[in-house]
Amino acid sequence: MEDAALVRSILEGQEDLFRVIVVRYERALFRFLGRFGFTPAAREDLAQETFLRAFRALASFDAARGSLASWLFTIARNLAADERGRTRHQPAVAALDAAPEARSEGDGPAELHERAEVRERIRCALAGLPDALHSTFVLAEIGDLSLKEIAAIEGCALGTVKSRVHRAREQLRAALGATEKSR
C-alpha cells in the first residue's frame, strides 16, 4: 500500500495501519539518528517521539507537497537538531554509544583496535561538522531521500545540498587520512 493511501486509511480510523509506516521507516530513521552519536536510549526516545508527532499531526500531511519520508525526516531532523544542541557539551555521553563491532573472521586484536580507532575518528569528525553540513550529509547518507527532498527538508537550494554533502565528505575523508598518517 502506498504511503498516501495508508495515511488516508489511518485518518479514517484504521490506526493500526500506522504500524506499517513505523516498520517501513524505522530502519532509515535509526540510521539517521545513529549518525548523530546519540546514546541508544536517546536514539529510541527520539525515534518514538518522531513517530508519535507524525501520528498526531497526520491530518496535516499533504502528499501533494512532498513524500511521507521527507515529512517524517523533517520532524526527525528538528528533534535531532534540538537534542544535538542540548547535548553538544556532553562528548562523554556520545562516546558511550559504541557501535557494535563489525567483526570478520581472522580479525586479530590489532585489527579490531585499528578499526575501532578509525570508527572513533569518523564519529568525532561527524560530531564536529557544523550543524547545516552535518544534517544535510546525514540525510544524504541514509539513502532514502532524493537530493531534491533533502533540499526541501533543509530549506535550501539543490546546489547547496550538493556542496554541503561534498564538503562534509571531504572533511570526513580528511579525518580518515589523519588516521592513516598516524599509523
Partner 1 sequence: MSCSQTQAKLTRGEALDEAERDHALACSECGALAASWATLDATLAELDPCVPEGFADRVMAKIGREVEQRRGDEARAPRPRWYERRWAGVLLSSAAALVAILNVARFVACVLVPVRSFGGAP
**Options 20-28, 59-67, 74-82, 83-91: segment touching partner 1 (CB under 8 A):** 20-28
1, 5, 11, 26: residue in contact with partner 1 (rule CB under 8 A):
26
Of the residues 4, 8, 9, 22, which one makes contact with partner 1 according to CB under 8 A: 22
Which one-letter DSSP state was computed for residue 112? H
AA identity, residue 88 = R
At which residue does the C-alpha cell 480510523 appear? 13
C-alpha cell at 165: 554533502
Cβ–Cβ < 8 Å for 53, 75: yes
- Cα–Cα distances in Å, from 145 out to 4, 53, 136? 17, 20, 11
The reply to whether 8 sits near partner 1 by the rule CB under 8 A is no
Smallest distance, partner 1 to C-beta of residue 96, A: 13
Stretch that binds partner 1, among 1-9, 87-95, 104-112, 164-172 (CB under 8 A): 164-172
Q: What is the sign, positive or negative, of the torsion defined by CA atoms of 82, 86, 87, 89?
A: positive
**Is 148 an interacting residue with respect to partner 1 (CB under 8 A)?**
no
Using rule CB under 8 A, residue 14 touches partner 1: no
The identity of residue 113, as a single letter, is H
| 34 contact partners, CB below 8 Å, separation of at least 6 | 43, 99
Q: How far apart are CA 171 and CA 58, in angstroms?
A: 38
Of residues 33-72, those binding partner 1 (CB under 8 A): 33-35, 40, 43-44, 47-48, 51-52, 55-56
The contact set with partner 1 (CB under 8 A) reads 15-16, 18-19, 22-23, 26-27, 30-31, 33-35, 40, 43-44, 47-48, 51-52, 55-56, 99-100, 102, 115, 118-119, 122-123, 126, 141, 162, 165-166, 169-170, 172-173, 176-177, 180
